[in-house]
Structures are given as C-alpha cells and as structure tokens.
Structure 1
Amino acid sequence: MRVPLATRLAHIYRLGVKELWSLLRDPAMLVLIVYTFTVSIYVAATAMPESLHNAAIAIVDLDGSPLSARIASSFYPPHFRSPVLVSAAQADAGLDNGDYTFVLAIPPDYQRDTLAGRAPDIQLNVDATRMSQAFTGNGYIQQIVAAEVGDFARRHQAAAPPVDLALRMRFNPNLEQSWFGSLTEIINNVTMLSVILTGAALIREREHGTIEHLLVMPVTPVEIMLAKIWAMGLVVVLAALAAMLFIVQGALQVPVRGSVALFVLVAALHLFATTSMGIFLATLARSMPQFGMLMVLVLLPLQMLSGGTTPRESMPELVQYLMLAAPTTHFVAAGQAILYRGAGIDVIWPQMLAIAAIGAVLFAGSLRRFRNTIAQMA
C-alpha cells in the first residue's frame, strides 16, 4: 500500500519533534551546545597568541644619534611596552631573567654609516622561550626599523630603497585575530556539533531500547533518518545564528561582511551532509565510547585539513585533492567567502553544488547502512 506524501511528512515532523524533546531531557548535550557556541567561540577569538600585545623591549643605544633616538621612539603600545634604554650588560641580564622579550642593539656610528650608504647592521636579540611573541614580534620590529631608517635616509637625501612598498590590508585592515578566530570557530563547531548530536541521538535510542519501538511503528528508515537530520540540524543552525548575532557581532564586535541568511543556507546544506555522516558513524559504533573514538578519527582530519586552520595551498597536492571529497572543505571556502569578503551566491555556487552532491552520497550510504542495522535488530 502506497503511503501518501502528506502522511510521510507528518511522520518526519512528529519524529523530529520527538528528537527535540529527547534533546531537552539530556542536560549534558544542552550544556555542550551552549558552551560550544558561546564560551568556546569567545575563547578562540580572544586567546589566539598570534597578535603581539604588550611585548617587553629594551634598546642598547651605542650610537646616541637622532636616528637611533627615532628608532627607539617608534616602539609604543599596544604592541610593545615603552622601550627601556639599557647597557649591553644589563641587556644580557634582562634576557636571562626574562625581563625583556626583545633587545635591539644599535651599533656605534650607525647614523653616519647609514647616510654614507654603507647599510650597517642592527642586532636583535630575542627570548625565543616566549614563542608566540618572539615569532610575531621579530617581523614587527624589522618592519618598524626598516620604515624609520628608510624615511630618515630620504629626508637627508641619502641612498634609499628604490621601491617603497605600500601595504593595504583588505577585509581585516588591522589584522585583528579575533575577527578570524571567532568566525572560524563557528564554522568548525557547526561540523562538530552536528555529527555529535545526530550520532548520539541514534546511539541513545539504541541504548534505551526505543529503537525497537520505532521498528513496530508504521515508519520507514528514510523517515527516521530525515527526522533526526532536520531536528538536529535545526538546533545547530539556531545555535550558530545566535552565536553570530550575540557573541561575534555583539560581544566581540566583529563585522560580518556578507549575508548572514546566505551563510545559514550554506550551513543547512552542509548539515545535511554532516548529520548523515553522524548517523553513519553511529551505525558503526556499538556504544558512546566507541562513537567518541570514531569522532576523533574523523573530525580532526576534517577540521585540520579543510582549510580553516591552514590554507589548502600550503598542503601537499595529494591532500588537497583528497579533501575535495569532504563537505567541510567546501563549507569552509564558502563560509569564509561570505563572512570575510561579502561574497554572494554568484561566487559560492560551485561550493554549494559540491556540498549538495557530497551530502546526497553520504545520505545514500548512511541510509543503506542504517537499513542493514535495523534489519539485523528486527
């Protein structure tokens, strides 16, 4: 007997509502959802070590010239603390004691040699035990000194660099790390939480014995899967939207360049793929601990190699080609294009098409595995 479409949709709707009520009665999952889209995003945005802030710097000025004084005065908050003028002996002791992260030593006759076109060297000593500041601050100091020396040489009509490089940062002109960290965390958390919620929902039913109740009801495996997908996908979309509005744009004051509605649409496509993946992993695992181990093996490569943490161009070509089969690769590319660069659907439609195709394949594979699992339990 052929079941009418309206009846099938009613089954999917009621089963989805059942999933939502089950989630509301699971305090651990509720705490995980709230933490993932509030505290986790805020911490990821504000605790990134790449931005230089309040670095301690000392200067050994053996020249005592206007140029050396100009270099010393070019370091100021918030990137650096006010520079401390020290002797060479004090500089070594300060580095040993951890008082300074950087010590800039200006040699004697530095201004005279610069004006004569001899290109003298300046020594920069770095306390590399403070790794994040040492790596970033090294580049900051080189740029600052080069800019001051070049401007001084031009003012005195000395030999100056033939080309003056003017840098213009697009989309994040101040290189604020929180702008990148918060939005990337939302993109990663959408993937992680969708897999967790759908997989945990299926395993929870199996452990509580409610899956047997579903088998005696006039519902099909397709209806059961679609119910879990729309219910858990709705929870993740609403949580991500709330995080975007209240945490990213509200608490962190991060400007979102593109359409939030378009990002939600792409996220919904992506959730169709990742929730299907979560159901597939749940059919492979026999308990929650096994499901957790499978998630570690699957989620870490998806998040590390999808382009959110490291640009895909920096990866081996084989990895780049392999990751094209993962929905997260296309979701990260589309999400960054929308949120960072304000791209429209005319730009990201290839990524949307790829996500939809991969989602269809994952859904078909998960449905087949789910039917086999149910057949073994019947």
Structure 2
Amino acid sequence: MRRTISNVLRLIGKELHSIWADPVMLILVVYSFTVAIYMVSNDASTEVRHVAVAIVDEDHSQLSRRLADAIRPPEFQAPEEIAADAVDAALDAGRFVFVLHVPPRFEADLVSGRRPELLLEIDATAMAQAGNGATDLASIVSGEIAGFLGGGPGSAREPVDLVVRAWFNPNLETVWFGSVMQVMNSITMLTLILAGAALIREREHGTIEHLLVMPVTPAEIVLSKIFANGLVIVVAAALCLIVVVQWALAVPIAGSMPLFLAGTALYTVTIASLGILLATFSTSMGQFGLLVIPIMVVLNLLSGGMTPLESMPHWLRLTMQVVAPSPSFVAFAQGVLYRGAGLGTVWPDLLTFTAQGGVYFALSLLRFRGVLARI
C-alpha cells in the first residue's frame, strides 16, 4: 500500500508538471474559470433590460399618456410614439420588440363601462425578452388602468392580496443563476478534456511505453491522471467562486464552500474516469475531440441546469439520472450553493454520482489494460 501511494504521488507530480508545461491548456483553464464565467453570466442575460417599445396613441387621452409614462427604464426604453401605418415597417426592420396600440376613445369607452381592447404586437424572434416582457407590460397596463379607475392595490375590487416571495434569488437576477451554472459546466467540460487529453498525450508522444517499463501498475497510472487533473479543476473552481462569482459578480454563496469543494472533488473523479474511458477509444487528439463534443453537449444541456428535468420525457429523465453524473451534481451544487443545504440533505445526490464514478473508473481501468496489452 505504501509503495502504491508513493507511486501515485510521483505520477501526480509528473502529471502536474505536464499541465504546467502546456501553456495552451493553462490558458484554457484560466479563461474558462474567469473571462468565460463573467461574460456569460453578466452579459448573456435573458432578463428584460432596455427593450425598445413603441406606442400608437390614437386616443391622446390622460389614460393613454399615463400608460406611456408607466413604461420606463430599466426594463424598457422610453416608448416612442409612431403612426399606425409605420408599425409593419418598424417591426420588419427590428426597431422595436413591442408595439402598444391604444385605440380611439379608449379612455371614454373604459369610463362608460365598455370593454375596449388594447393591442400589443410583439417581435417574437427575441423569444426570451418577448415572453418575459409581454408579462411585464401586461402587469404595467393592468396596474395603471386599475389605478385610473380607482381600483388600485388594496381596493375593494381586489379581494385577495397576493404576496410573492422569491426564495434563494429575491430579485430574480439571472446572473445569480447563470454564474454558478457556468462554473458547473466548466467543471464538467474541463475535467473531461484534461483527463482524456492526458492519456492521449502519452500515446501520441510515445511516453506510455516508458511507463510500462517502470514498476507501476495500470491502476496507479489511471489514478494519477484522475487525481492530478481533478486537483487542478477543484483549485480553479474554488478561486473562481471566490474571485469571479462572489467578488466580481457580487453573487452570494449561501452554503458551505468546503462541502461543495468536497463534492466537486468526488465529481471530478467521476468525470475524469469518463474522460479516460473515452480516451481509450481514441488514437489521436482529433478523434478524442470529436468523441467528447457530443458527450459534453448532452452532459450540459440535459443536466437539469439549463433545461429542467421535469420538462423532459420520462424515459430521457430516467436515463440521464442513471447514466450521467451531471444531473446529480447539478442538484447537489444548487442545493449547497443556492439553498444552503447541508450534507444531510444532499447526500443522496453525492452518493449517486460517486457510485457512477466507481463504475466509470472500473470500465476505464479495464479498457486501459486492454490498450496496454495491444502496445
């Protein structure tokens, strides 16, 4: 046992030196955990911000002006009044996402008890902003009309006072969600790439033959590659959460950082084992890249982070939870980082991807021994 530990530690040192000597890989790791996290989380937002709105005011009443004044930044740009015959050209040119039509005699019909109609035209090619913005505009218009008629909040016309309380993200900021999810995606992607590339590099450089004449076992070689690359990812993830997420993006971390990093360490073992397994089916870095791309797409898109598991078909959801470790890791990370959950709450997810890691490690070791036998 002592000899095995000594061999693994020496091989880990060799792997870390190889990573340090590869500037392209180092730049990829640094970029993925800094610039990519910040830009995707902060700039690729789906929130309604500064959306262009036009208004066709054919009523020119106090109420129509009140509606126009209620649509204001930061969610919307100040509405621009345009003529009715200019709407089609403006939407075709992409100048506005929303166009609100106020018909003639709108205020008079409303006061007299009739039910006039307002028309809201939407450029639905801006899908996220169209859906969210339509809801916001409907709420603004309804509130202003109720206030104009004397039926504002707390009046007798509203028998129920609905109080909304958003937990874990009180302002519904997408950066709170996007930053942490991007960290999890980067952990999955880079662990898979680094571990598999470490084995491919040995085969392309011919150094795997040198390892075969050394007093080391295949298990020690595989463990060293998993632990070395996992260590790099865990350290990078910890620095990213502290420097980029908490400091630069001002996103609070609700739970225990040590618990998250411990779970991340186990997860990197699982994903690194999968990376080694994929590398045993490849003879070059190009083949490995082509094999990894579709695997990464599935692991990230169907992890339950970007698309809810509940919206997937039952068979697909069950398959992902059994075969892929990413859904369990996403549930674990969200529980710890968002909700402040402890080990007593997240241990089933922790146990799930750890067990999957054991299976992937056994398969990768079996395949690696087969590769060595053919050399």
TM-score (norm 1): 0.93
| CA gap 1:126/1:227 in 2 versus in 1, 3 angstroms | same
| Aligned-residue CA RMSD (Å) | 2.1
The equivalences for 1:287-326 within 5 A come to: 287-325=284-322, 326=324
Aligned twin of 2:24: 28
- SS of 2:63's equivalent in the other structure is helix
- SS of 1:104's equivalent in the other structure is strand
| CA gap 1:79/1:262 in 2 versus in 1, 3 angstroms | same
Unpaired runs of 5+ in structure 2?
none
Aligned twin of 2:213: 216
Q: CA deviation at 1:202?
A: 0.6
Confirm or deny: 8 A CA contact 1:154 1:160 kept in the other structure.
no
Cα distance between partner residues in 2 of 1:69 and 1:168: 32
Cα distance between partner residues in 1 of 2:58 and 2:134: 21
After the TM superposition, which of the residue ranges 39-48 and 162-171 deviates more from structure 2?
A: 162-171
Aligned twin of 1:85: 81
Aligned twin of 1:366: 364
Cα distance between partner residues in 2 of 1:320 and 1:285: 29
- SS of 1:202's equivalent in the other structure is helix
Cα distance between partner residues in 2 of 1:347 and 1:118: 55
Aligned twin of 1:263: 260
After the TM superposition, which of the residue ranges 143-152 and 9-18 deviates more from structure 2?
A: 143-152
Kindly provide the CA deviation profile for residues 136-165 of structure 1, in whole angstroms up to 9, marking residues without a partner as x.
Answer: 322221121122223333448999455454
Cα distance between partner residues in 2 of 1:363 and 1:188: 21
Confirm or deny: 8 A CA contact 2:45 2:175 kept in the other structure.
no
Cα distance between partner residues in 1 of 2:258 and 2:250: 19
Aligned twin of 1:243: 240
Q: CA deviation at 1:231?
A: 0.6
Which amino acid in structure 1 is aligned with residue 306 of structure 2? Answer: T
Q: 1:350 aligns with which of 338, 348, 351?
A: 348
- SS of 1:124's equivalent in the other structure is strand
Kindly provide the CA deviation profile for residues 98-155 of structure 1, in whole angstroms up to 9, marking residues without a partner as x.
Answer: 4333221122333344345544221112234444433332222112112222333344
Tell me which stretches of 4 or more aligned residues in structure 1 moved more than 6 Å: 156-159
The equivalences for 1:1-378 within 5 A come to: 5-155=1-151, 160=157, 162-325=159-322, 326-377=324-375
- SS of 1:324's equivalent in the other structure is helix
Confirm or deny: 8 A CA contact 1:115 1:159 kept in the other structure.
no
After the TM superposition, which of the residue ranges 81-90 and 254-263 deviates more from structure 2?
A: 81-90
Kindly provide the CA deviation profile for residues 28-57 of structure 1, in whole angstroms up to 9, marking residues without a partner as x.
Answer: 111111111111111211232411221121
Which amino acid in structure 2 is aligned with residue 372 of structure 1? Answer: G
Cα distance between partner residues in 2 of 1:241 and 1:250: 13
TM-score (norm 2): 0.93
Aligned length: 373
- SS of 2:294's equivalent in the other structure is helix
Cα distance between partner residues in 2 of 1:287 and 1:92: 54
Cα distance between partner residues in 2 of 1:119 and 1:346: 56
Confirm or deny: 8 A CA contact 1:49 1:132 kept in the other structure.
no
Which amino acid in structure 1 is aligned with residue 313 of structure 2? Answer: P
- SS of 2:149's equivalent in the other structure is helix
Q: CA deviation at 1:250?
A: 1.5
Which amino acid in structure 2 is aligned with residue 183 of structure 1? Answer: V
Which amino acid in structure 1 is aligned with residue 347 of structure 2? Answer: W
- SS of 1:50's equivalent in the other structure is coil
Confirm or deny: 8 A CA contact 1:117 1:158 kept in the other structure.
no
Kindly provide the CA deviation profile for residues 174-202 of structure 1, in whole angstroms up to 9, marking residues without a partner as x.
Answer: 22111111110100110111111111001
Confirm or deny: 8 A CA contact 2:151 2:157 kept in the other structure.
no
Cα distance between partner residues in 1 of 2:194 and 2:93: 50
After the TM superposition, which of the residue ranges 134-143 and 321-330 deviates more from structure 2?
A: 134-143
| CA gap 1:324/1:97 in 2 versus in 1, 3 angstroms | closer
| CA gap 1:178/1:353 in 2 versus in 1, 3 angstroms | same
Confirm or deny: 8 A CA contact 1:60 1:106 kept in the other structure.
yes
After the TM superposition, which of the residue ranges 69-78 and 275-284 deviates more from structure 2?
A: 69-78
Q: CA deviation at 1:64?
A: 3.3
